[in-house]
Amino acid sequence: MATAVCDVMRIMSVRDITADQFQTDVIDASHHRPVVVDFWAPWCGPCRHLSPLLETVAARHAADVDTVKLNVDSAPQISAQLRIQGIPAVKAFKDGAIVGEFVGAQPEPVIERLFAGLGPSDADRLVAQAGTEPADAEQLLRKALALEADHAGAIVALAPLLIGRGESDEARQLLGRIPADGRARQLLAELNLAGDAGEDLDMLRTAAEAGDAAAALRLGKALAGRGEHAQALPWLVAAAHDATLRDEARTTVLAVFDVLGGDDDLVRTWRPKLAAALF
């Protein structure tokens, strides 16, 4: 009975697709979750040897990875496009690109390594669990970082928790580990701008309106720290005209841009104005 159930699970874990389905079921689908493709043919002896092993491994990873089979005899254009010269050829796709592959009837450990490299890591699973268990979120996120110190998902989830209770130094250190991550840059920019939020706005506005460039810079930074970006940018860009304040004003404006995101209307409006002020 158990053997019959396992056989059914293996069959269900791998499905056949046609050449017409390749774009949607492999390339497009791989942007949502990894897809492994077994390129085979009915006349191929090694393909028949590989098939049950592939199905067994695919069944173990079915929660995270889709697996399909494509008969190369019915898909010559795809075979040529992917330069398939021998079968069985197994290729793993993620985000529309090939991220792993092997050729020939490989043993189960080789197949397992291919699949294991595609699914979520233990750190990924902990971050996902933290999203559904807020009471234990910090503990779970710290466990994830113990496994992967630069795990972007864990960092950008933990940093707001730290910032919210005033532990800004640790949050800043964590966010600094992943400078290329857009969300991390946004959080770090918000954190840096928040330090200027306590200024006396009325006093600064009076001085700025009287032509004090330093006061304009301080006013812009204070407004930005309070999240009033539309009001902050005119003062910051005005301060950028002053040669002695230019670098600090530019840095602050770019931090506001990071907070807003490159597609924001304010960024599109003020980026050329900043350039004009600098040059």
- Rounded percentage of the chain residues whose pLDDT exceeds 70: 95
First to last CA, the chain: 78
Q: What's residue 7's pLDDT? A: 44
Provide mean pLDDT across the span 80-106.
95
Q: Is residue 34 within 8 Å of 68, Cβ to Cβ?
A: no
**What three-state secondary structure class fits 238?**
helix
Between 11 and 119, where is the model more confident? 119
Q: What's residue 133's pLDDT? A: 95
pLDDT in tens, 137-179: 999 999 999 999 999 999 999 999 999 999 999 999 999 999 9
Let me know the angle formed at the C-alpha of 43 by 92 and 82, rounded to the nearest 5 degrees.
30
- State how far the Cα of 174 lies from the Cα of 177, in Å rounded to an integer: 6
Fold that domain 201-278 belongs to in CATH:
1.25.40
pLDDT reading at 130 higher than 90: yes
Q: Is the pTM of this model over 0.95?
A: no
Q: What's residue 167's pLDDT? A: 95
Q: What's residue 13's pLDDT? A: 78
- How far, CA to CA in Å, does 277 sit from each of 38, 79, 193, 242? 58, 55, 21, 9
- State how far the Cα of 76 lies from the Cα of 55, in Å rounded to an integer: 24
Which DSSP state fits 21?
Answer: G
> Residue 247 burial by CB count (10 A; 0-12/13-18/19+): exposed, middle or buried?
exposed
pLDDT reading at 48 higher than 50: yes
pLDDT in tens, 259-277: 998 889 999 999 999 999 9
Which DSSP state fits 104?
Answer: S
For the annotated catalytic residues, the residue numbers are 44, 47
Domain 122-194 classified CATH 1.10.3720.10? no
CATH 1.25.40.10 intervals, the chain: 122-194
* Cβ-based neighbours of 162, under 8 Å, separated by 6 or more: 168, 170, 171, 174
> Residue 217 burial by CB count (10 A; 0-12/13-18/19+): exposed, middle or buried?
buried
pLDDT in tens, 197-240: 677 899 999 999 999 999 999 999 999 989 999 999 999 999 99
- Omega into 88 within 30° of 0, i.e. cis? yes
CATH 3.40.30.10 intervals, the chain: 2-116
pLDDT reading at 28 higher than 70: yes
**Short-list 31, 39, 103, CA closest to 72:** 39
- Mean pLDDT, the chain, integer: 92
- Rounded percentage of the chain residues whose pLDDT exceeds 90: 83
pLDDT reading at 9 higher than 70: no
pLDDT reading at 1 higher than 80: no
Q: Is residue 156 within 8 Å of 187, Cβ to Cβ?
A: yes
Q: What's residue 12's pLDDT? A: 62
Fold that domain 2-116 belongs to in CATH:
Glutaredoxin (3.40.30)
Q: What's residue 182's pLDDT? A: 87
- Tracing tokens 């290329």 back to the chain, one arrives at 180
Provide mean pLDDT across the span 171-192.
91
